[in-house]
Amino acid sequence: MSWFAELWNHPVIQHKLPIATLETVQMVGLSSLLTALLGLPLGLLLVSTARGGLTTNATVNRVVGFVANIVRSLPFLILMISVIPFTRLVVGTSLEWRAAVVPLTIGAIPFYARLVETAVRDVNPGKVEAARVIGATRRGIVVQVLVREALPALVASFTVTVIALVGYSAMAGVIGGGGLGALAISYGYQRFDPIVMVACVVVIVVIVAVVQAVGDAVARRLDHR
């Protein structure tokens, strides 16, 4: 039996790898979506309330920044375990990929928010000034100037975040989150089956490569500088 045939006919790879891959994609996909929806506004809030921002508010800025820093400084494994009660409250269970979405999203929001903050801060303040003179409202400036002008950088930051989530999602396997991480641990580590291990690694590398390629292509299309 050739090496490839051995891989192909491996019962775990035939039956469990596709399911685990789907779980990882779902886990990462849903938590990425939630991260974008919540992390972007949070990042914009950080920029807007900062000194020299559109609605300077030192208190809000400090509190939000402090919370973001705490979440970011926790190792993901510890964060994941410590939010289990909250996960049960939201999802009803702490197992399966759906449950893993909760800690993944909580961990990724401040990560992405900080990247958003940096990207938006790079928008030339002269553009904001021009929009103010034109008579644009604050909301208009945030959407049409800050977000629109930073969009290529926001997409690039989002790509980085999604890839980080792929990494975290493997860790979620440790506490029963399912996906490729769980498969690699139970077969590759606990049963010492190198073939399953290699297969998991290959699939994860492919996922990351695809995410990076798509992210780069989108960012390039949006960038007219």
Partner 1 sequence: MTTAPRIQVIGLRKVYPGAGRDVVALDGIDLSVQPGEIHGIVGRSGAGKSTLIRCLTVLERPTSGSVVVDGEELSALPEARLRAARRRIGLVFQHVNLLDSRTVAGNVAYPLEVAGVPRAARAARVAELLDLVGLGERADAYPAQLSGGQKQRVGIARALATEPAVLLCDEPTSALDSATTRQILGLIRELRDRLGITVLIITHEMAVVREICDTVTLLDHGRVAEHGPVGEVVAAYGSRLARELIPVPTLPLGDERTFVEVAYSTDDVPTHRVLAAVATLGTGVEVAAGTIETLAGRRVGRLRLDVPAADVDRALDALRTAGVHAEVATGADPGPDEDAGDEEAAS
* Interacting residues toward partner 1 by CB under 8 A: 124, 126-127, 129-137, 140, 144-145, 148-149, 151, 222, 224-225
Q: Measuring CA to CA, how many Å separate 163 from each of 50, 82, 87, 171? A: 28, 23, 22, 13
CB closer to partner 1, 136 vs 185: 136
Residue 47 CB, nearest distance to partner 1 (Å)?
17
Nearer to partner 1, 88 or 127 (CB): 127
Q: How far is the CB of 150 from partner 1 (least distance, A)?
A: 9
When the beta carbons of 75 and 126 are compared against partner 1, the nearer one is 126
Whole-angstrom Cα distance, residue 204 to residue 25?
A: 10
Q: Which is nearer to partner 1, 85 or 125 (CB)?
A: 125
Q: What's the min distance (Å) between Cβ of 31 and partner 1?
A: 28
Q: Which is nearer to partner 1, 138 or 191 (CB)?
A: 138
Residues 122/150, Cβ–Cβ less than 8 Å: yes
Query: Minimal distance in Å, beta carbon 111 to partner 1?
Result: 25
Distance in Å, CB of 125 to partner 1, minimum:
9
